[in-house]
Amino acid sequence: MNQALRELFLQKRRLLIALAVLLVLNIGLYVAINAYLAPAIISSQASWNDLRQRVAVAGRADVASVYQRGIDDLKKISAKIPAKRQFPRVIGDVLDSAVTSGVSIGSVNYKPQTVKGQDLLAYSVSMSVSGSYAAVKSFLGDLQKNSELLVVDGISLSNSDFFEENVAMEIRVSIYLQGREGA
C-alpha cells in the first residue's frame, strides 16, 4: 500500500503540490476574511444602517406641522390670485407679452367657468398668434413666466410654407381669478 502511494506521489507530484498550495491558500484566505474583513464589513453595515435611520427620522415631520405648512401655502397662493374685476388687466398683460415677443395676434375668445367647490373662476382663453418661430417660442416663455395663475392647456403649431419661417399657433390658456369681487 505504501509502495502504491509512493508511485502515485511520484507520478502525480506536480498535481499534488498544486492541490496542496491551493488548500493552504484557501485556508489562509478563510482566516483572513473571518479575522480581518468580517468585523470591518459588520461595522460598515452597522454605520450604514445608522445613517439610513437618521435620514429617515430627519425626513419625517409632525403631521400637524405639515398640515399647517400646507394651509399657509394655500393662503399665500390664494392671496396672489387676482379678483375677477382684474380680468382686463390680466388679459392685457398676456396681449402685451404677445406684442413684446413680436407675434401678431389674431382672434381672441374667452369663456368664464366656475370651479366647483372653490371660489374661483377659470377663464378659458383661446387665441391665435403668428410670427417667427423664435417670436412664438418667446411668447410661450413669457406666458410661463407670468406671475398670475395662468395655465397653458394646449397649443397647436402650423406652417403653411416650408420655405418661410412664419409659424401660426393656436393656444388655449386657463386664467384663474377669485370669484368674489372684494379681493
**How do the pLDDT tens digits run along the chain, 183 residues long?**
788 888 887 888 888 889 999 999 999 999 888 888 888 888 999 999 998 888 777 666 667 777 888 899 988 888 888 888 999 999 999 999 999 999 999 999 999 998 888 888 899 999 999 999 999 999 999 998 888 888 999 999 998 877 888 899 999 999 999 876 544
Q: Is the pTM of this model over 0.75?
A: no
* Structural contact between residues 90 and 112, judged by C-beta atoms closer than 8 angstroms: no
Find the length of the chain.
183
Query: Do 174 and 125 form a contact (C-beta atoms < 8 A)?
Result: yes
What architecture does CATH give domain 82-178? 2-Layer Sandwich (3.30)
pLDDT of residue 181: 59
Domain boundaries, the chain: 2-58, 82-178
Q: Quote the pLDDT of residue 98.
A: 93
For residue 20, what are the CA distances in angstroms to 1, 26, 30, 148? 22, 10, 15, 81
pLDDT number for residue 183: 46
Tell me which H or E stretch contains 107: strand 104-115
Q: Residue 155 has what pLDDT? A: 93
